[in-house]
Amino acid sequence: MEFSELIKKRRSCRAFQNTPVTEEQLQSIAKAGQWAPSPLNEQPFQFIAVTDPGVKAQIQKISIEAKQTVINKNGPAWVEKYPMNFIGDCPLILVVIYDADKGGLGSYFEQPHGALQSASACIQNMMLQAKDLGLDSLWFTFFNPSALKSILDIPEELDIAGAIMVGTPAMNAKAPKRRPPMVHRDRFNAEAH
């Protein structure tokens, strides 16, 4: 697919077919992630590829619990309708973890998020690669990170940037509208838009 079309066609998917993601597709997506920029080229991210139905069921369970927490705290009404069953159905959940201590020199001058920024670039690369392979994806964060760390035995010192659902879509998601880009010239101009 042509690159600018690929960017626009990538869509968050919340319903998947049960067709497995092949090992070749998984490796191709992981390699695309690995080519993300990172502070001092430290490549602070690693991936956990979850395909085991029992583990997926546990992730679905903690997501339902997170949803209930939002409902109990009087969160937005739409949350009640947010479906969670697609998690168990999703053929591949790629959990992207990162080492916050590998953020380059930014921590010396009030930029402490270098590793998370890099993991985020990594996720975008992976989602675009998945799209190019004919797969859809979702950057999913609707869970308590401590609960997911415990399910996946993630060491205390590593953090989670997202659980990326990947698979063949079972829905045709409409593109949420984008506003025109806010581009300021030379310096910030509050009246420009």
Interface residues toward ligand FMN, by CB under 6 A: 11-12, 14, 138-142, 162, 173, 176
Q: Minimum distance between the CB of residue 163 and ligand FMN, rounded to whole angstroms? A: 8
Task: Say if CB 5 and CB 157 are below 8 A apart.
Answer: no
Angle, vertex CA 153, rays to CA 112 and CA 104, nearest 5: 20
141/144 with CB nearer ligand FMN: 141
Q: What residues does 176 pair with on adjacent strands?
A: none
Task: Say if CB 87 and CB 59 are below 8 A apart.
Answer: yes
The three-state (H, E, C) secondary structure of 103-149, written as one string: CCCHHHHCCCCHHHHHHHHHHHHHHHHHHHCCCEEEEECCCCHHHHH
136-140 and 45-50 strand pairing: unpaired
Q: Minimum distance between the CB of residue 66 and ligand FMN, rounded to whole angstroms? A: 9
Paired tokens of 80 = 């009640």
Q: Minimum distance between the CB of residue 147 and ligand FMN, rounded to whole angstroms? A: 14
Q: Minimum distance between the CB of residue 161 and ligand FMN, rounded to whole angstroms? A: 8
33/190 with CB nearer ligand FMN: 33
32/41 with CB nearer ligand FMN: 32
Q: What is the DSSP letter of 18?
A: S
Distance separating the N- and C-terminal Cα atoms of the chain? 33
172/192 with CB nearer ligand FMN: 172
Q: Minimum distance between the CB of residue 139 and ligand FMN, rounded to whole angstroms? A: 4
23/181 with CB nearer ligand FMN: 181
Q: Minimum distance between the CB of residue 152 and ligand FMN, rounded to whole angstroms? A: 17
21/119 with CB nearer ligand FMN: 119
Task: Say if CB 130 and CB 166 are below 8 A apart.
Answer: yes
